[in-house]
Amino acid sequence: MRNTARLLIACPDQRGIVAAVAGFVAEHGGNLLDADQHTDKEHGEFFMRAAIEREGFGLDRNTFAAAWEPMARRFHMQWSIFWGQPLKRMAVLVSRQSHCLIDLLWRWKSNELDVELPLILGNHPDCADVARDARVPFEYCPVRPGDKARQEQQVLGLLADAKADFLVLARYMQILTPDFVRTMPNRIINIHHSFLPAFAGGSPYKAAYERGVKMIGATSHYVTDDLDAGPIIAQDTVPTSHRDTIDDMVRKGRDLERLVLARAVHLHVADKILVSNNKTVVFD
């Protein structure tokens, strides 16, 4: 991904967009390594992701916008382009549970996640040792009664100092305020079990066990003002049976949470997600 430019486009659907984009890339000496598109017939919207080989391409981050602007105006495009380098900077927010954090750290250490990881923050100190073992700075930001606004300002200040591009909630058990969410639109990724809202509360696996569910799942989504109702990035499920205990369900659920969150983060880092009407178009 470091050697490609990823162009994301959203615009009203009409004929000729794909040909025009391909022609523009060729005109400037570029090579299209990958191109994918989707048309939302209900809303009349067109979405496209184009991966362009940077070597030999006659445009760069300083010259692309001016050259592209006539095309954007012609098709009324909303667009963005990512140049592969510098790498995106990912920060992580955690509480007490460490399974998602440990998985992300392993994938980062093994170069599965091509990001910089400048900072881990926790509203409890439980994951400090995990961060230290990975040699990533950890900041303890407790939430005290009546002091949530101050804590969020502290977190935002640390994120700004770390130059974080996006934020991952790795089982962070606090609700972010609208003021916080507005600072990073479509750049905060959350993970939760898919029992919500049927099995909300502090013991969802116990409630699911007592209900005798035959399937459990996990959902990763962008955070919005609506609790756990942001645009969904990735989901998965696993079957359960009457033989599963509550501990079995917790284990299966945590496995899914790790996998689904990692999948969502990878898609975000690879610039494969477009958001429209509180839904995502995911070019996976």
Q: Which of 120, 204, 118 is nearest to 169 (CA)?
A: 120
Verify whether residue 228 is a known catalytic residue: yes
Helix residue ranges, H only, the chain: 17-27, 64-75, 99-109, 128-133, 148-161, 178-182, 204-211, 246-269
138 forms beta bridges with 120
Measure the CA–CA gap between 141 and 121, rounded to whole angstroms: 7
Contact partners, residue 41, CB within 8 Å, separation at least 6 = 13
Which two three-digit tokens encode residue 232? 């969904």
Q: Could you tell me which residues are beta bridge partners of residue 191?
A: 220
| Crossing angle of the two packed helices 17-27 and 64-75, in degrees rounded to 10 | 160
Q: Are 87 and 163 in contact (CB under 8 A)?
A: no
The answer to whether residues 231 and 196 touch, using CB atoms and an 8 Å cutoff, is no
Distance CA 44, CA 21 (A): 19
Distance CA 216, CA 206 (A): 12
Kindly name the residue from 228, 236, 248, 255 that is annotated as catalytic. 228
Catalytic positions, written as ranges: 228
